Structure 1
Amino acid sequence: MCRMIGFASAEPLDLAPFLDGLSDFSRRGNLVDGWERRAGGNHPNGWGIAYRAGGGIRLLRSGKPANADPALSGVRVTTDRFIGHVRYASNIATVSASNAHPFLVRGTALAHNGTFHGKIGEEAQRRNVSDTLVFLERLSVLWEEKVFSHLGEALMAILCDPGQVGDYSAANLLIASGEALFALRHWRRNEDYYTLFLKDGPGLAVAASQPLDDGPGWRPFCNGELVELRPGAPRSAVLFAAA
C-alpha cells in the first residue's frame, strides 16, 4: 500500500516540490479506515524515486520514513521524467531499502499501489522479495515494444490471469521507460484509497495518488484507465473495469 507521484515535463524541473509532496504523503496520506496508524506517519515504511538522467533511469531508495529522512530532503535533482513512492508495508518485517519502490528491470522502472497474490505472490514469498518486483520482471518480458498500445496488451495479459495475480487488491501503477511515462489505475476494493489523479497543463502532466494542491485541474482516473503522460497531450484508454 502506498502513495505515488509521477510527472513528465517538456523541460527539466526541480524535484523539490514533488519530494515535499512525497514527504507530506508519508506523514498524512490517506489510509483505509481501520488500518494501523504507525509511528512515523501514515506511510512511513520507506520511500523511493526514479528519474531520468543521462539517457537512463536512476534510483534512490530508503527504508526510512520520507518525512524524516535527510537523504530525501537533501536530494538536489532536475529532471523531465519522475516517479516517487512512499510505502505502507503490509508486513513490517519487509521494510528495507531493497523492498522500497520503484523497482528497475531491463530499463523499466515501476511503482505499485496494491498487493498481488497468485503465482506472483508465491514466488515473491519464496524469494523473499516484493510481489511488485516479480510483477515487473514478468511485465518486462511481455512488453517488448515500449509503446502505449503494447503496454496495455502486456498489462492485460498478466492482470486478467487469476493464476498469476490472484485476488489482488489493486494495480495502481506508475511505469517509466526511456522518454515514456505511464500511469494505470485499477482497483478491486477500497475505491477511496486506491485513487489516482491526473493534472495536465502546458509542458507538464502529473499523476498522483492524491491531488498535490487545492487548485483546479485535477481529475480522477477512471477504473481501468491507462494514461501516457505526455506534456500537454496525455492520451488514455480504459483497459478494463473493476472485477
Structure 2
Amino acid sequence: MRMCRLLGYAAPRATTAAAVLGADDAREWQRMGRLHADGWGTAWVDDARTVRRRRDPSDGTASADLADALVQEASTARIAHLRLATEGMGTVLGNTHPFVVDGIAVAHNGSIQPVQELRAMVRPDELARVGGTTDSAVVTALVLREVARGASLLEATTTTVARLRSRFPTSAVNLLVLSADELVAVHANEGAPVPLDLFATSPLGADLPRDHVDHYYRLSWRREADGAVAFTSSGLASEGWRPMAQHTAARVDLRTLALEVVDLPTAQRRAA
C-alpha cells in the first residue's frame, strides 16, 4: 500500500494556495514531494467557471510549475495532489491525479486492495473515460457513474465511498472532489494499514514529513477569516486545523462558502 497528499481550498475571491495556507505551509506542502515523489497534479476553477487541470508524473518537490500553481496562480477553488504510487501502479501521466471528466476533478489519497476485484466493479468503457488504470481511477469511475444516474456530487461521492468501505473494510479512501459549483472532501480509512515499513526504511530520517508516523491518514480542515475553507492531509503544522472525523464528508458551496458535514453511510446532515 502507498499513499498520497491532498490539498484543497475554496475562497470568496480568486486567490492562491499560499495566500490561504500561508507561504511557509504552501512551500512545506510542496516539499512533501520528497517522499510522495511519483507525480503531482492540480485542478482549479477558472474565471469562466470551468474546471482546468495540470499534472506531471515526475517528482514535484522542485517543480517550478507546481510552485507557480501554489504561489502565483489565483483561483476561487483548487485541489492539488502529490502521488506516492501503490506497488504495481505505473508512474505515468494517465495515472496522475487529479482525474477530470465532464467538469469533475477527483484526487484520491489511499489504496484499495485487491485491485483486480475492485476493477471488476466497472466496465472497460467507464475506466477508459477516466484515462487511468489504478484503484483511484476506478473510484473516479464509480463516482461518475452515480452522477450519471442523477445523484448530486455529494451523494455520488458518499455513496461510492460507503460502498467501497463496506466491500473493502481496510481500504483507505480520502478524496477531494471539485466541480465548478462545489468542493467535497471525504475522510474514510479506519483500519487501513499505515506504511510504517516505508517510513522506517526511508532515507529521509528526521526529515520525514510531520505526523507521518502517528497521523498519516488524517485529513483536516480550516476556516479562514475571510470565509475561505481549506483541506489538507497530514504534514503541515496543526495550528488552526480541525481533524475530520472518520467516515465523514464535507461539502463547500463555491458560491456561498457554506460548509456542511455528512456522515457515512447514512449521510445525515449536521451543522459544521
Could you say what secondary structure the match of 2:53 adopts?
strand
- In structure 2, the partner of 1:44 is 37
Given the superposition, is the C-alpha separation of residues 15 and 220 from structure 1 closer, same or farther in structure 2, using an over 3 Å criterion? closer
Distance 1:22 1:91 in 2: 28
1:24 shift after superposition: 2.7
Distance 2:260 2:235 in 1: 19
Could you say what secondary structure the match of 2:58 adopts?
coil
- In structure 2, the partner of 1:35 is none
- In structure 2, the partner of 1:195 is 218
Structure 1 residue 207 and structure 2 residue 270: aligned?
Answer: no
Structure 1 residue 69 and structure 2 residue 92: aligned?
Answer: no
1:229 shift after superposition: 2.5
1:210 shift after superposition: 2.4
Aligned identity (percent) is 25
Cα contact 1:114–1:168 (8 A) shared by 2: no
- In structure 2, the partner of 1:235 is 260
Distance 1:96 1:26 in 2: 20
Distance 1:101 1:20 in 2: 24
Q: TM-score, normalised by structure 2?
A: 0.71
- Aligned CA RMSD, in angstroms, stands at 2.9
1:74 shift after superposition: 3.7
* Structure 2 gaps, min length 5: 195-213, 267-272
Given the superposition, is the C-alpha separation of residues 102 and 160 from structure 1 closer, same or farther in structure 2, using an over 3 Å criterion? same
- In structure 2, the partner of 1:148 is 154
Given the superposition, is the C-alpha separation of residues 123 and 147 from structure 1 closer, same or farther in structure 2, using an over 3 Å criterion? closer
Q: How many residues align?
A: 224
Distance 1:43 1:176 in 2: 22
Pick the aligned partner of 1:96 from 88, 92, 115. 92
Structure 1 residue 87 and structure 2 residue 80: aligned?
Answer: no
Given the superposition, is the C-alpha separation of residues 147 and 100 from structure 1 closer, same or farther in structure 2, using an over 3 Å criterion? closer
The ranges of structure 1 where at least 4 consecutive aligned residues each deviate by more than 6 angstroms after the TM superposition are none
Cα contact 1:23–1:66 (8 A) shared by 2: no
Distance 1:221 1:237 in 2: 11
- In structure 1, the partner of 2:118 is 120
Given the superposition, is the C-alpha separation of residues 148 and 12 from structure 1 closer, same or farther in structure 2, using an over 3 Å criterion? same
- In structure 2, the partner of 1:108 is 104
